Amino acid sequence: MLKSVRTVLTVTAATFALSGVATNAMAETQWQKDHPRRTEVNKRLNNQNKRIHNEVKSGQISKARAAKLHHEDHALRTEERTMASTDHSHITKTDQRALNQQENEVSKQIGR
């Protein structure tokens, strides 16, 4: 009896785990599939935006400091779009590397 309960629980857990993977795969848009480098850069920018908001909310940084960081992120997003406009809506590995380095610098400033 106990062994069959474990089997049912294991099968149920595996089903939920697989359905989560399927949901995540379906959530990815065609644009994201076609532009993986841009997607990665933009996900990082969105994550940094959330971190800035959380730090303001918790009182770790001032609103003025947050505005400066948001301005830097906005400039990076503009640069990403400009880079993409020169290569049929894609960014190169070199472009992505440069943007990641700049995002790393902003990220370090968020945590200070």
pLDDT digits (tens, 9 = 90+) for 94-112: 999 999 999 999 999 987 6
What domain count does the chain have? 1
**Is there a domain that residue 80 lies in?**
yes
Distance CA 71, CA 69 (A): 5
pTM, full prediction? 0.70
pLDDT at residue 37 in the model: 93
**Is there a domain that residue 48 lies in?**
yes
**Is there a domain that residue 20 lies in?**
no
For helices 93-110 and 36-57, give the axis angle rounded to 10 degrees.
10
pLDDT at residue 28 in the model: 85
**Is there a domain that residue 75 lies in?**
yes
pLDDT tens for each residue of 82-94 = 999 998 999 999 9
**Is there a domain that residue 45 lies in?**
yes
**Is there a domain that residue 8 lies in?**
no
**Is there a domain that residue 57 lies in?**
yes
Domain containing residue 100: 37-112
List of the chain residues with pLDDT < 50: 5, 8-9, 11, 21-23
CB-CB contact of 108 with 75 (8 Å): no
The SS3 of residue 109 is helix
**Is there a domain that residue 95 lies in?**
yes
